[in-house]
Amino acid sequence: MSQEDRQRWNDRYQQASLPREPSAFLRSLADRLPREGRALDLAGGPGQDACWLARRGLDVTLVDISDVALAQAEILARDEGVSLTCLRLDLESGALPPGPFDLVVCLNYLWRPLFSAVPRLLAPGGLFVFAQPTRSNLQRHPHPSARFLLDDGELPTLLQGLQSLSFTECWTNTARHEARVLARRPVNDSQD
């Protein structure tokens, strides 16, 4: 991303009201997610999901391009009495934090080359949680633009090296058309 993109995200987070509640999709997976180990929240924004994971007992690293979002995440973590590692990182050009992670979460961020890195980030048996609107979302919403949307039916084709545990693609209760997946790196996968 360019410096202009970073500034756009900083401006967006500076002007937005901060979400304090974690993703409903992430919370719906609570019984399936680990309660210990390492977690990575990719493009985690102001940290509501990362803090929820930390409250559950995970050692969480949150990465985002926005300085403003990371500062907000640090404040939220302090307010909630949890510890987060916050890293400013351009996911499109920077080196990802070294794994292995027991959980990688990526909600509302799409950069297709990231999918090839996820299996290497995960420990064998580690879980990947991903959600992103699809092009069908444009039927009701002008944003995000088509550039940032999955093609309908595309998500399963991106999960190379991962085993899908659950997949949905539908209108959500928030009136967004999203593709959502919980996937796992096979336990017997020893590739690096």
Place of tokens 């509640």: 21
Residue 14: per-residue pLDDT: 65
Q: Beta 177-184 vs 163-171: how paired, if at all?
A: antiparallel
The residues facing 38 across adjacent strands are 59
**pLDDT on residue 190:** 65
Q: What mean pLDDT do residues 134-161 have?
A: 92
Percent of the chain with pLDDT over 90: 78
Just give the CATH number of 24-92+99-185.
3.40.50.150
For the cut 60, the answer to whether the pLDDT of residue 181 exceeds it is yes
Residue 7: predicted pLDDT: 63
Residue at token pair 């493009």: 43
Summarised one tens digit per residue, pLDDT across range 5-61 is 666 665 666 676 666 789 999 999 999 999 999 999 999 999 999 999 999 999 999
Dihedral Cα 126, 183, 48, 35, nearest 10 deg: -40
d(CA 117, CA 144): 24
Separation of alpha carbons 54 and 146, rounded Å: 33
Closest CA to 115 of 159, 149, 150, 151: 159
